[in-house]
Structure 1
Amino acid sequence: MWVPAGAYASLLFLASQVVAYENHTKYSTWMITSMISRNDGVLTGAGDASALLQAGFTQKAFRRWLQQNPHDVHSDLIASHIRKSVDSTIEVVSDALVSVTNSPLDRLSTGNNLIILYERTHDESYRVAFDALRHSIDLQPRNAEGGLWYFTYPNWSYLDGMASLAPFYTLFTELFEFANTTAVPDDMVFQIELLWEHCRNDATGLLVHGYDSSRMAVWANNRTGASPYVWGRSLGWFSMALVDTLELLPNTERYSDARGTLLRHFRDLSAALVRAVDPKSGAWWQILDQPERDGNYIESSGSAMFTYSLLRGARLGYIPSEPSTAVAIRAYEYIVHNFVVDQGNSTLGYTGTVSVCSLNSTASYEYYVERPMLYNSVLGTAAFAQASLEYEILER
């Protein structure tokens, strides 16, 4: 979509107002207006899986901001960008039934905002798009146990996909297929349970990146099929999936067993994340189960995701407030001081985010720590914006 040059100037001006308005302290608004100035989350090409994930994650962060700041001076700007982002995905996701075998579960990340906009506008193009996404789940290949493949790699399931799958599966079923309990809660919880069973290390309580149910991958554990290392961002996606899905599941008898399962997992994982935090920095390593190993480093996107999950989970009463809140506050402050960049043009930048790490690799230690770093990665900036929103609630 063509955007007049003057519109970008206006966006930069609005972003500059955040500095004066918040005196550099309300980082959620500052980062989100900075993302808008970069046109983040808007598909401009064919819309590959990475672009779809970025769009959906941007929409989620912006929607959270609107829910928290409905009367803010930036509300219209941010609501407009959500719609622009969602609209840019319609054509791609409406074709999900055709392209499903070549598209990872990340394609579902835009589903909830398609539903929200449909509910508000009754624009049928949104319905067509999210219906296609929902039906594509039924076509997704599954392993012999019934676990969804994350992508085209036979029998491989990743933690990453749950952040897109579980919240969309849940919201769609609650609104449009309420009688279909085989989908939600049954299948949704089953997908999480399979990952928990295959990927969790009982000694640490942490989950590795994914598993191969056939045990044929070069990295697969002979007994469990699990990959060898705990990659921070994949576990970040999983922790966000748990807290976000818990919030969407109504607290009724229908969902009592599902909520109980997800709550147990979230509490167990949150306690493990508190134990795994680096005592020096207060944040989390790129590979969580290899602290201080040569080449390992504190990574910004996973750290922001864990911060969000702990703060939101504690605020909603899913996990004990302490020590989760204290750990998350310390991590947030480290992130602000070490990864947030004042770019000098009234916008914020974000550093320290690793590029995509795939199990379509050796999945070796060296692979994970040698992947390139990205500046202003949407996966990092959107994660930071959401962590900031939770932090700002504490400051009220």
Structure 2
Amino acid sequence: MDKIETYIDELLEKSTPDRPIWNIEKILQGLKSTWNYIDGCMIKAILEMYAITKDEKYFRFADNFIDCKVREDGSIEGYSVEELNIDNVNAGKTLFELYDLTGKEKYRKAIDLVYSQIEQMPRTAEGNFWHKNIYPNQVWLDGLYMCQPFYMEYETRFHEKKNYDDIFRQFFNVVEHMRDPKTGLYYHAYDSSREMFWCDKVTGLSQNFWLRALGWYSMALLDTLDKADASVGEPYERLKGVFVDLMDAMLKYQDASGMWYQVVNFGGMEKNYLETSGSSIMAYALLKGVRLGFLPENYQTYGAKAFHGICEKYLSEDADGSLHLDGICLVAGLGGKQMRSGTYDYYMSEPVVKDDAKGVGPFLLAYTEMRRAGLIEA
């Protein structure tokens, strides 16, 4: 077994559904882990590990983890639709796969419950979901990843594609309002009301290009396309073009190490650092983009370079032989109680941690794509 499988096995052995070792935020808060996007990222990656290795231990772990959260009536521990927090949709993606694998009716009911939140989400003037009820009129790139792939899968499988137009329109609104035409990159967030202290009062945009937000958005595009019926034609092809355009824009900023910087366009600036989670997402997006036929074959090289760069810089062994993945930005956002400003210094001020699922999950997803491409031997 290779080093990465050893690493993931170590994490699973140290984790329970109530206290997963990779949810650093909950550990620091001293709280039990209930329904959240961080665990959703990790369980999705573990299910991909099962898909690629067919090793039952990954399936058993994922099923047990989600089974503990979902009650027989489909209600979910620690999840409230009324909170209207787009992050909470993300873990719902695991339910589709687990429903297919287990046939547990409670997973199907839970899928409907999560979908009911989508039906109630408040929207900006342009028609995009608010990021959270507590962040009115705001669209964050992160939120596209948290919600749209789930939304698309539900529409494709269970709703006769009735809301495809809504999904495509939300992406195209982001292209219109959040893309910087000079660089091809996207700003982290947009305030449709132009009221938040962190936004430009003319454009409504935050100030910087944060790597992980760009990563989440890349995955949002790719995973939504993956769950869509391509036969819808024009909007599907147009969204594919948006994904390809973003990959080309990001490649201009890829460091010689293969990684990307925390604030993407300021590589080499004081305090800026090569960041693991966003670089892992980019590796995944490039490799999967090639596999799905959206990107030319030679882009695989850039994805593999990113993956190997992360392993070289941040996957290390302790004196006791245990493995760790370092260089992960714990969290970054805008506004809130902390009055986060979105300045360059703000993005440099957030803690950098080891083994957090926001880095480990995407890293494992990139690993499964490396395996699928035959770039790492089983």
Same fold? TM cut 0.5: yes
Aligned residue pair count? 359
Question: Are 1:47 and 1:89, in contact at CA under 8 Å, matched by a contact in 2?
Answer: no
Shift of 1:133: 0.5
Which of 59, 64, 67 is matched with 2:51 structurally? 67
Secondary structure of the structure 1 residue equivalent to 2:264: coil
Give the aligned partner of residue 5 of structure 1: none
Change (3 A) 1:213 1:41: farther
CA distances 1:296-345 after superposition (whole Å, capped 9, x unpaired): 111111000001101110122101122x2222222211110111122455
1:353 aligns with 2:353: no
CA distances 1:218-270 after superposition (whole Å, capped 9, x unpaired): 12123321111011111111101111122221332xx2223212201110000
CA distances 1:111-168 after superposition (whole Å, capped 9, x unpaired): 2221222234332321221111101111111112211111121111111012121111
Give the aligned partner of residue 23 of structure 2: none
CA distances 1:195-218 after superposition (whole Å, capped 9, x unpaired): 222111111111111100001111
- 1:1-396 aligned at under 5 Å gives the runs 21-22=1-2, 24=3, 27=4, 29-39=5-15, 47=33, 52-70=36-54, 75-90=55-70, 94=75, 99-151=80-132, 152-178=134-160, 180-181=161-162, 183=163, 185-252=164-231, 255-279=232-256, 281-322=257-298, 324-343=299-318, 347-360=322-335, 361-392=340-371, 393-395=373-375
Secondary structure of the structure 1 residue equivalent to 2:69: helix
Q: Which segment is superposed worse, 76-85 or 386-395? A: 386-395
Query: Runs of at least 4 residues of structure 1 off by over 4 A?
Result: 40-48, 95-98, 344-347
Secondary structure of the structure 2 residue equivalent to 1:207: coil
The CA distance in 2 between the partners of 1:328 and 1:145, in whole Å, is 34
The CA distance in 2 between the partners of 1:126 and 1:321, in whole Å, is 37
- CA RMSD of superposed structures (Å): 2.3
The CA distance in 2 between the partners of 1:145 and 1:388, in whole Å, is 37
Secondary structure of the structure 1 residue equivalent to 2:155: helix
The CA distance in 2 between the partners of 1:87 and 1:97, in whole Å, is 13
The CA distance in 1 between the partners of 2:120 and 2:74, in whole Å, is 14
| Higher percent of residues as helix | 1
Question: Are 1:30 and 1:347, in contact at CA under 8 Å, matched by a contact in 2?
Answer: no
Q: Which runs of 5+ in 1 are unaligned?
A: 1-20
